Structure 1
Amino acid sequence: MRKDSRLSRALHVLVHLNDADKPVTSETIAEMLSTNPVVVRRMLALLRDQEYVHSTKGHNGGWVLAKPLGSITLLDIHNAFGDSSLFTVGLTDEHTNCPIEIAVNNALKEVMDEAEKLMLKRFGDIHLSVLEEAFR
């Protein structure tokens, strides 16, 4: 299973956009993240839909922060990406008939659900301005 790194990448980009004195192109962001500009545009389009960033086309166009970092939480950004799991630990086979595998899967699911619930609660308490302060 491939790890979903959109949350950490988006946080990285948002802190950079906060420091930018002009719009930043998808190409520049892609280079910074070692990825493709299309990946950047898809990720930032989800954040634009939630009005965390704006984009402008053409010469001198690019992405800008639409809200102060202090008004955005980690939970806001996580939620902008839809129903993605925080964990990449997966159940080996959800449709097994093996009683041992069923017991293992049930134990893992319960622990991961509990941990995710706690993490999402904390995400709601952490504003992106804290990341920017730690960066300074």
Structure 2
Amino acid sequence: MAYWLFKSEPSTWSWQDQQAKGDAGEEWDGVRNYQARNFMRQMKLGDRGFFYHSQKEKSVVGIVEVCAEAHPDSTSDDDRWDCVDIRAIRSFEHPVSLAQIKADPRLAEMALVKSSRLSVQPVTDEEWRVVCALGGTNAE
């Protein structure tokens, strides 16, 4: 299993919106960055990801799971753009802020710290365990 981080502006698509979609999940559409798209093309069913609220909140708030592998993005007529579908798994007991992540030396190399503008990013196994622990949730 691989781990990822999905960034969303809560005013556009929030954790509550994601949870409301239930087991069916929702397309992670509208991504127009080649690197982020390529990451989605690498995702497999069952991969897990952090759901990150950007803008003011800047916090990891929940865990999602890839429930459909890469397919054409329904919001584009351009066949260069693909997306995956994700579903909410569980909320964090305590949201983990970007400030907390940046302050933890174990997370100094995390893509969220190094490439903060990228909307879809990989997360290492160790980063996954650390952020889950900070958020008071099970890493499994």
TM-score (norm 1): 0.30
Structure with more helix by fraction: 1
Structure 1 or 2, whichever has the larger Rg, is: 1
Structure with more strand by fraction: 2
